[in-house]
Structure 1
Amino acid sequence: MTISRTALAAAAAALACTSVWVGRATLRRILGDAVVTAQELWLRPESLKTYVSGFCPWTCAVVLVAVVGGYFVCVLLFTPMDRVRLLGELGYVPDGKVDMKEMSKLVQRRRQTGDVPPVYPNGWFGILESRSVTPGNVRGVSVLGLDLAVFRETEGAVHVVDAYCPHQGANMAVGGRVHGRCLECPFHGWSFDGATGKCSDIPYCDNNSIPSLAKVKSYPVLERNGFVYMWYHAEGIEPSWTPPVIDEIHTGQWTWRGRTEHVVNAHIQEIPENGADVAHLKAVHGACLLSGIDLGRVYDNCWSFSEHLWNAQWTPNSEPDERHIATIHLTHHLTAFGFRVSLFNMKVLARQIGPGIVYLTFETPFGRGAFLQALTPVGPLMQRMVHHIYMERRIPTIIAKFYLYGEATMFERDIMIWNNKRYASKPVLVKSKEDALVAQYRRWYSQFYSEHSPRFTLHKDTLDW
């Protein structure tokens, strides 16, 4: 039996709280000599078995409930949130004959795709989270129609190269070994420099005889704000801009409090387009957060007395060196029985940076923070969206988790739309400032496509790209 220190800490906290509630003397009368201090539990974990063996069944039950309850309270209050929802877990409505996962497959087969723009725009993409790439290890990633090997050298720098060895095609992300800043192929031991992609060593060949074609493509990469970003451009053009550093995160004023991850069945352009589509806010996000994510039922429940009010404005940046950025000013209010609840007011400044990055800094009555979005194509019409939340150090983690949960719930309502819609290349728009923003957004986003950007075609139920 192995007892983790986390469990011991929870047990100690639970016993401490129980002793405060009923009084230590009373607790000692109930548990007798089995009462131990937090220090004893922490320093002598092996003694826990001895104490427990002397408990009566009811005493064991009380202690067990206290320990389990203490553990879950600690998780709720102090552990960062990690919410993952994959394709088929939400966003579809089962018809009673098949479950949601099967329904997702049926919708993908039957859905009309529409005349979609190129599927992989040019720009920086968050392909991994920094914490998932440890020194000396390699990760395989399939994004943007590419199979990549991502590794961190022992000195800390991250490199991204094509996964397949040019020698005999082995996947270096599977079994590859990291030596310095080089990645060694597991098949024959060829090593490739992560910065240049050139072969630096062949065990059975003199280094002066290494063929010039013995190289893999290496991609521009940078790390900031908790993500590993890779530059992709269909024409092979070098980066013309970089994602900005958020000073409060870099200096540690704001700390990481959790993440969410979703997989969406849609064209990449449609997801950030919601930022400019201000008319959808009331229809999709007006119902109370606690009403859930099923758009067909969000107004048919006991939470109809509460409503979210949104006011948003989307604007593309006009500065020559910031044309890849668009700004959204957003305010939020919550009402209950027609009265505004100021505790949940929120003021948001969102910046879409290129085709797949959004930084949302926000102010609330509890303090300031930021949502960071990394949107990356894992297939022609399949996107992975990762959200991180950072908040001021003084703010309890449970408050940050509440905001992240709220953001995830609203995003999952959008997923129900995205997973089931087709791309409307020629939407029927009305003469209004709301629909005018959608048209303006599409013109702005088109800058991220170029002549050789991969396109999606449908031929007799076969996908070619």
Structure 2
Amino acid sequence: MLYPNGWFAVCLSSSLKPGRLRTVAFMGNELLVYRTRSGRVRVIEPHCPHLGAHFGYGGKVDGENLVCPFHGLVFGPNGVCIGAGRSRTPPRAKLDEWLVQERAGAVLVWRHNKGKAPDWEVPDSNMAGFSAAQEACFELKGYSYYGPENTADATHFMQVHHLTDVAMSHEIRQHQMEVNLTASWFGWQIKVRMINYGVGCAYAESELPAWGLFMKSYSFGTPIAPLKWTYTLLDSTHVRWLDALPRVLRWPPQALVGALMHWLTVKEIRKDFRIWNHRRHVNDPKLMQGEMHIAAFRRWMMQFYLRD
């Protein structure tokens, strides 16, 4: 399959402090990610347009500018070369920059194989009252659509994650596919609302009403090389019965519950990893009765793999 179009996470915001340069793998190539002194994030092709030096090996962020390690060329906030070492006259050069946004604790870049501008974005969610986000990132084998496809796979929730009384519905809105699920977990009712924003991002709201637990999570699937991808997870938890406590007493137990729920979430997702790492893409899957949500997902996701 081709690499998909859309918004994709290249790193976590927490890993990119001002002045930090990061080289990241992305769809068979490399990108350079950095944050300027003012906090602006930029994503560029990693090689200097002068003589091809790699900014990630000796380059530096100087305030709002990026400095090449080879000849000291200085590139300003707009990517244009504005200076050179040894008081030389700078060449007419400009960095190749990617469109970038920060959402939900991640740095996202827009990718389209025809160079089309984005006509949608990944929204943030209001995390007021929720625990600090717990983060995890894993490198996996196979295709990055495996993650969002799981949101539409009712049977796997029963077989792999041992949920019972699973009921599912879905709704498609252009670049979004929303899946709503109700089920029982060890006899407790759970409700999950999942929204896929393209095939690079999935947002979920999970509720365990009897316990007063509410979790918001983002997961990002990013192809980094042929049959390799990263799965990044951020989740935060709110415990409704703690709302009656003063704020100073509320946060320690909420943080503890958030850490526990994150551990449980990762524990469950690792069960999927064992399968994803050894799957292969089937062009014409022989679906079973009741798997209409998977069929709908497959039809919907193809828009992100089209060449036009």
Same fold (TM over 0.5): yes
Evaluate the alpha carbon distance shift between residue 215 and residue 312 of structure 1 in structure 2; reply closer, same or farther with a 3 A threshold. Answer: farther
Conserved 8 A contact 2:131-2:258: no
- Report SS of the residue matched to 1:255: coil
Q: Please say which of residues 196-205 and 270-279 is displaced more in the overlay.
A: 196-205
**Paired residue secondary structure (1:311):** strand
1:220 maps to what in 2? Answer: 99
- CA distance change for structure 1 residues 314 and 200 in 2, over 3 Å: closer, same or farther? farther
- Tell me how far 1:424 sits from its aligned partner: 1.0
1:43-66 deviation per Cα after TM superposition (whole angstroms, max 9, x unaligned): xxxxxxxxxxxxxxxxxxxxxxxx
Q: Is 1:148–1:173's contact at 8 Å kept on the other side of the alignment?
A: no
1:177 to 1:373, Cα distance in 2 relative to 1, 3 A: same
Match of 2:201 among 338, 357, 375: 357
CA deviation vs aligned residue, 1:337-389 (integer Å, no higher than 9, x gap): xxx2x3xx422111111111011112222332211111111112111111111
SS of match in other structure, 1:240: coil
Question: What displacement does 1:260 show?
Answer: 2.0
Provide Cα deviations, 1:100-136, integer angstroms capped at 9, x if missing partner. xxxxxxxxxxxxxxxxx21x21111111111110111
Instruction: Tell me, yes or no, if the aligned pair for 1:325 and 1:351 is still in contact at 8 Å.
Output: yes
Specify the alignment match of 1:347 in structure 2.
Answer: 191
CA distance in 1, matches of 2:67, 2:73: 6
Q: Partner residue of 2:166?
A: 311
Equivalent in 141, 146, 151 of residue 24 of structure 2:
141
Cα distance in 2 for partners of 1:313, 1:372 equals: 20
The 5-angstrom pairing of residues 441-456 of structure 1 reads 441-451=297-307
Higher strand share: 2
- Count residues with an aligned counterpart: 293
Map of 1:79 onto structure 2:
none
Q: What SS does the aligned partner of 1:398 have?
A: helix
8 A Cα contact 2:180 2:192, kept in partner: yes
Matches within 5 A, 1:7-406: 117-118=1-2, 120-194=3-77, 196-203=78-85, 204-207=87-90, 210-211=91-92, 214-247=93-126, 249=127, 252-286=128-162, 308-309=163-164, 311-318=166-173, 323-335=174-186, 340=187, 342=188, 345-364=189-208, 365-392=211-238, 394=251, 395-406=253-264
- Aligned equivalents of 2:79 and 2:227: distance in 1? 29
- Matched AA of 1:357: C
Partner SS, residue 264 of structure 2: helix
Amino acid in the other structure paired with 1:358 = A
Opposite residue 450 of structure 1, the aligned amino acid is: L
Counterpart code for 2:164: L
Q: Deviations over 1:218-268 (max 9, x none)?
A: 011111221111111111111111111112x2xx42232422222211112
Larger Rg: 1
Cα offset, 1:310, TM superposition: 5.3
Inter-partner Cα distance in structure 1 for 2:167 and 2:53? 50
Structure with the bigger percentage of helix: 1
Distance 1:420 1:379, change over 3 A: same
Mapped contact 2:194–2:202 kept (Cα < 8 A): yes
Residues 177 and 196 in structure 2, CA contact (< 8 A), matched pair in contact too: yes
- Structure 2 CA distance for aligned equivalents of residues 366 and 351 of structure 1: 22
State how far apart, in whole Å, the 1-side matches of 2:133 and 2:14 are: 13
- Whole-Å Cα distance in 2 between the matches of residues 139 and 278 of structure 1? 38
Distance, in Å, in 2 between the alignment partners of 1:397 and 1:167 is 49
Asked if the contact 2:166/2:184 (under 8 Å) is kept, the reply is no
1:412 matched residue in structure 2:
270
Q: Distance in 2 between matches of 1:352 and 1:173?
A: 33
Tell me which residue corresponds to 2:243.
Answer: none
Question: Could you say which residue in structure 2 is the equivalent of 1:104?
Answer: none
Contact kept? 1:312, 1:328, Cα under 8 Å: no
What is the one-letter code of the residue matched to 1:440? A
TM-score with structure 1 setting the length: 0.60
C-alpha RMSD of the superposition? 1.9
Distance across 2 between alignment mates of 1:391 and 1:285: 20
Distance in structure 2 (CA, Å) of the matches to 1:198 and 1:348: 47
Work out the CA distance in 2 between the residues paired with 1:283 and 1:142.
34
CA separation in 2, counterparts of 1:324 and 1:334? 31
Q: Which runs of 5+ in 1 are unaligned?
A: 1-116, 287-307, 453-465
Q: 2:282 maps to what in 1? A: 424
TM-aligned CA distance change 1:237 to 1:310, over 3 Å: farther
Letter in 2 for 1:363: E
Distance in 1 separating the partners of 2:190 and 2:76: 47
